[in-house]
Structure 1
Amino acid sequence: MGRTGISNPILRGFNPDASITQVNDDYYIATSTFEWLPGVDIYHSRDLVNWDLVASPLQDGINVNLRGNEDSGSIWAPHLSFAEGRFWLVFTDVKSRGQGLDALNYIISAEDVKGPWSEPVFINASGFDPALFHDGHHHYFLNMLHDYRPERDQRFAGLVMQEIDLPTLTLKGERRHFFTGTDLGVCEGPTLMKKDGYYYLLAAAGGTGYSHAATVSRSKDIWGPYETSPFHPLLTTKDDPTNPVQKAGHASFVQAGDEWFIVHIMARPLSLQRGHCPLGRETGLQKIEWIDDWPRLANGTHWPQMVIEAPKIARGVTQRSDYSERIDFADGVLPPSMKTLRHSLSSELSFDARPGYLRLHGGQSLGSLHEQSLLARRWQSTSFRAETQVEFSPRSFQQIAGLVCYFDTNNWQYLNVSFDEELGCKVLRLDISDNGKWVLVGKRPIEEQEAALRLGVRVNRNQAQFEAAKIGGAFVPIGEPTAADRLSDDYVKELGGLSFTGAFVGICAQDLDDHSSFADFRYFDYREFPGECA
């Protein structure tokens, strides 16, 4: 009897740049989080199919400070490994993305993946997407080299490597160039693996969008020269625009028994002709085979598949397909799915001020790069409904609270409670920011006796309908449907920007006056619609 198939992605919704490592029968994947905290999501599995979020080591005020970092900056492409009885996490904190590129590289470590993690050690800022390679008791720090000089044709100046002393995390010896790239150009996310006498260099290339790819080169000597695989590239959909798996690249090897796989970036456009991808870049799984000591996708092509045969270690496992969750704030805890922007809300959030509720004090505007009071979770489907209950007593139009669908500081859709001085009462507003242009989509007065309101949004692929209800009453639409697919990196790119994240939905509060107002939220519910997932 044949094995059942599993569907990609294995990590749904905004989980890019997967770095996988194995410790005995346990597998761990680390993914990028950019400006969202806690930073670097680490997932655990024993079957490569179902994954649990078990750690997010980067915490505001402890080992990272993201305040002021621009959209889609901050935490890029972590690398997770295990050596000398410890987990090692390498990450980049991108402070600026201009020609100079301030990309600060750090390493932290822990005996247990759940922590405690060590204090970060700064290594260098020569480029982004660094990694560690452990070759017995020799350890190497590899990275790409960024060239800021305007007279150069490109910013990529090759891959470099240097030995590193793990106990002290001190670089030693000389930094050496060891690879100049392939015909696909810039190498990102380089990782090394040793197998059967060869060093295999796996790297991302071709940018981060629809031309993305993964390449493989090998050498008998760690310092090269490296020859490029005859199966080149290993992975891409650049030449396959109707494949439901798009933007394939940035991969990482893993062995499971006698089988080999790669985890890789992928995205699912709403239309097969390379439409928008509001779920962002996700993590897929593909089986590989070895031909004359070269890896190749097991399907004999370089095109990834949406459905693959389940790994042998996953025999009998049912793949999770629904990520719905309801958060009752009376429990006084937040699940690991909930994240904040650039800081931890340590002083803005309270479960004790009003038992049974989460109190959120008004912070800076949704356009702020510093201290927003926003708590949200990633979209993991393009067919879902989110809902919350809020009590809020604004005294000014500058005091705002509600339910938000958020991509970045310039692109969001916000159903909020505020105050209108001309009407002399609270109002319910639907405001959107489209590439930084704020537009009022809908508004209605709130009756004085409506102390609490339920706010909701129903996302159906490329549209979102916001709605509201009195307690005990039926939901009614607020404004016309909005363009949900504009909360995507593709839309930002069409307008001349460059972004790498995905859409989130959650709750937030702003006080653009004296920061004295607060809103009380009773629950947050995220409910996917089975069979309608993107």
Structure 2
Amino acid sequence: MYKTKIKNPILRGFNPDPNILRVEDTYYLVVSSFEWLPGVRAYSSKDLVNWTHVTDILTHQVNLQGNPLNCSIWAPQLSYSNGKFYLIYTDVKSTARPFKDSHNYLITADEITGPWSEPIYLNSSGFDPSLFHDEDGRKWLLNEIWDYRMTTSNKSAGIVLQEYDEELKAVTGPVYKIFDGTELAKTEAPHIYRHQEYYYLITAEGGTGTGHTVTVCRSTSITGPYELDERPLLTASDKPDSPLQCSGHGSLVETPQGKWYMAYLCTRPLNGAAILGRETAIQEVVWEDGWLRLETGEDGPAVETYIETEEQITQQIKTAFHDDFSGKIKSEWNALRIMPDNSWCNIEENPGYLRLFSGESIQSSFDNHILAIRQKDFDFEAQTKVEFTPKTFNQMAGITLFLNTQNYMYCYITWDEKEGKVIRFILSIDGEYELSDVIIPITEQWVSLKVAVSGPVGKFYYREDDKHPWQQVGAPQDMSTLAGGFTGNFVGIGVHDMDRKAGCSADFDYFIYEGLDK
């Protein structure tokens, strides 16, 4: 066996709440997708070192239109039993205090790529559900429980457990409160593992920010009582100099050789701003005196760590993306609360090009026609070439840096009554917009647009002829305005029309993303 040195995070950009699983010789990681569809991104690996995007699981099972900001698909959990994959997820419909409307569902499939079943509704008492398959054949549903009566802002009141009956396709029997949480509070992300004579309950506490912590409990009975390990398994809360912050939400996997690893989320703040969102890291854990410990002997995240592999391999972090729209659109694309399908993103009407039909405004939570990929690098360039003939100022098409409907940058082609076809720029920070007074007339049919990001600064460019140099649009922008919330920043293209539904369309020749991080 070899020790392969790797660098965390293993999944860069918006890849939060990782849940890890091994099925025979293949490892899987699924992550939260929130309002982006298709939902629940799944990765696979043969060695825990290099990961490949294998599928997105939620395609037709959910309706996210109108869901509020930072809601929708939270903390999926993937398990496997008797030749079948089980995926548990939460569809959050509201987080307005004091209540939280969070509905938990189960879908199944014989293969990770599907087809996946129709959802089975489970409960709504809290979020972050997971399914434990016990050795006796019984199945148990865990989830955080939300108690609106609590006087604190976060009202997570611990972890509950209830049996799941596969024949009835429902949870049944008594609900057991198995963990009240610690003084860190905000207890969530429960997973149960069986090791020797104990059931081990892994939870996240302290919130998903700087106080994030992985805690461990154990019991000889699945319904408790559970004994708390007073020492946290993982946290960066007391390590302000660590490059990896907000570390928590862990899940475990055992290799065929008996090694154990924990996947967990982290952030890499840049000048205090987590522009790339919450990412996925991994570290080895060991069993000591009946408890889990990081293999390093510490309780903090490690940027550089080691994975035991059967042969010497090299970690490869590939972030480049290129779609020339010569076939079906590539699977890395996501859309906001709607599926990217032929009804609005079409490659058949003008072969070799992507035709995007207009949606509502870029701030809409219903029909916002954005096609985007994750920002995976602090430094990158992305560009596209678009043909668009707007007829009014309410029609626009262009390139965007997009955190959410409250925080975005949009460089777009539109119409001006005095200048005709023009390029404009709009910025939104926490819902407060600023429309640049820069108006650039253009005459060519095709226009290239580019965004170049270098750490905390983003710049937008255009050119009408590929032979001419790029011209900057407006002033440099502060990328920290695209940090925060539950997701990471996206970069993409869109078409919008506030005059008429599907009132216009734009053709895109290509889209290129090149990561420049060293």
What's the TM-score once normalised by structure 2's chain length? 0.96
Aligned-partner Cα distance in 1 for 2:301–2:456 = 25
Instruction: Decide which of 467, 478, 485 is 2:480's aligned counterpart.
Output: 485
8 A Cα contact 2:157 2:187, kept in partner: no
Aligned-partner Cα distance in 2 for 1:86–1:150 = 39
Deviation for aligned residue 1:321: 2.0
Question: Aligned in 2, Cα 1:150/1:134: closer, same or farther, shift over 3 Å?
Answer: closer
Deviation for aligned residue 1:340: 0.2
8 A Cα contact 2:447 2:465, kept in partner: yes
Show the counterpart of 2:386: 390
Aligned-partner Cα distance in 2 for 1:447–1:277 = 36
Unaligned runs of 5+ in 2: none
Unaligned runs of 5+ in 1: 490-498
Aligned-partner Cα distance in 2 for 1:319–1:409 = 35
8 A Cα contact 2:94 2:102, kept in partner: yes
Deviation for aligned residue 1:485: 2.2
Question: Aligned in 2, Cα 1:168/1:335: closer, same or farther, shift over 3 Å?
Answer: farther
8 A Cα contact 1:322 1:530, kept in partner: no
Show the counterpart of 2:465: 471
> What code does the residue aligned with 1:199 have?
Y
Deviation for aligned residue 1:63: 0.7
Aligned-partner Cα distance in 2 for 1:332–1:480 = 37
Show the counterpart of 2:93: 95
Show the counterpart of 2:446: 452
Instruction: Decide which of 301, 306, 311 is 1:309's aligned counterpart.
Output: 306
Aligned-partner Cα distance in 2 for 1:447–1:142 = 58
8 A Cα contact 2:4 2:314, kept in partner: no
Show the counterpart of 2:512: 525
Deviation for aligned residue 1:4: 3.8
CA displacement 1:362-413 (0-9 Å, x = unmatched): 1111111111110000011111000000010001000000000000101001
8 A Cα contact 1:18 1:252, kept in partner: yes
> What code does the residue aligned with 1:325 have?
F
Show the counterpart of 2:120: 121
> What code does the residue aligned with 1:66 have?
L
Deviation for aligned residue 1:235: 0.4
Question: Aligned in 2, Cα 1:311/1:211: closer, same or farther, shift over 3 Å?
Answer: same
> What code does the residue aligned with 2:7 have?
S
Cα root mean square deviation, aligned: 1.5
What aligned pairs does 1:148-227 form with structure 2 within 5 A after superposition?
148-149=148-149, 155-227=155-227
8 A Cα contact 1:427 1:443, kept in partner: no
Aligned pair 1:20/2:16, yes or no? no
CA displacement 1:418-471 (0-9 Å, x = unmatched): 011133x111112111111211236333333x1101000001110001001122
> What code does the residue aligned with 2:259 have?
E
Aligned pair 1:246/2:239, yes or no? no
> What code does the residue aligned with 2:84 have?
R
Show the counterpart of 2:82: 84
Deviation for aligned residue 1:514: 1.3
SS of the aligned residue for 1:478 comes to: strand
Show the counterpart of 2:371: 375
Instruction: Decide which of 287, 291, 294 is 2:291's aligned counterpart.
Output: 294
SS of the aligned residue for 1:3 comes to: strand
Show the counterpart of 1:412: 408
> What code does the residue aligned with 1:222 have?
I
CA displacement 1:192-250 (0-9 Å, x = unmatched): 000011100000000011111110111111111111114x2110000000100110000
SS of the aligned residue for 2:359 comes to: coil
Aligned-partner Cα distance in 2 for 1:438–1:477 = 20
> Bigger CA drift: 178-187 or 397-406?
178-187
Aligned pair 1:512/2:498, yes or no? yes
Aligned-partner Cα distance in 2 for 1:475–1:442 = 20
Show the counterpart of 1:333: 328
SS of the aligned residue for 1:415 comes to: strand
Aligned-partner Cα distance in 2 for 1:332–1:207 = 43
Deviation for aligned residue 1:151: 5.8
CA displacement 1:88-109 (0-9 Å, x = unmatched): 0000000001121110100000
> What code does the residue aligned with 1:510 have?
H
8 A Cα contact 1:394 1:517, kept in partner: yes
8 A Cα contact 2:380 2:454, kept in partner: yes
Deviation for aligned residue 1:345: 3.9
8 A Cα contact 2:284 2:307, kept in partner: no
8 A Cα contact 1:193 1:200, kept in partner: yes
> What code does the residue aligned with 1:224 have?
G
Aligned-partner Cα distance in 2 for 1:265–1:345 = 27
Deviation for aligned residue 1:145: 1.2
> What code does the residue aligned with 1:486 have?
T
CA displacement 1:126-148 (0-9 Å, x = unmatched): 00001000102011011111112
Deviation for aligned residue 1:487: 0.6
Deviation for aligned residue 1:153: 8.3
> What code does the residue aligned with 1:292 have?
D
Show the counterpart of 2:32: 32
Aligned-partner Cα distance in 2 for 1:332–1:307 = 39
Show the counterpart of 1:277: 274
Aligned-partner Cα distance in 1 for 2:236–2:321 = 33
CA displacement 1:9-66 (0-9 Å, x = unmatched): 111111011111111111111100000000001111111111111121211xx21000
Question: Aligned in 2, Cα 1:474/1:153: closer, same or farther, shift over 3 Å?
Answer: closer
8 A Cα contact 2:321 2:513, kept in partner: yes
Deviation for aligned residue 1:486: 1.5
> What code does the residue aligned with 1:298 have?
E
Deviation for aligned residue 1:183: 2.5
Show the counterpart of 2:45: 45
Deviation for aligned residue 1:154: 5.8
> What code does the residue aligned with 1:289 have?
V
Q: Percent identity?
A: 41
Aligned-partner Cα distance in 2 for 1:393–1:234 = 57
Aligned-partner Cα distance in 2 for 1:419–1:186 = 49
> What code does the residue aligned with 1:93 have?
D
Deviation for aligned residue 1:114: 0.4
Show the counterpart of 1:494: none
SS of the aligned residue for 2:480 comes to: helix
> What code does the residue aligned with 2:293 have?
R
> What code does the residue aligned with 1:277 have?
A
What's the TM-score once normalised by structure 1's chain length? 0.93
CA displacement 1:237-283 (0-9 Å, x = unmatched): 00000100110000001112232110001110113xxx001110001
Show the counterpart of 1:55: 55
Deviation for aligned residue 1:150: 5.9
Deviation for aligned residue 1:530: 4.5
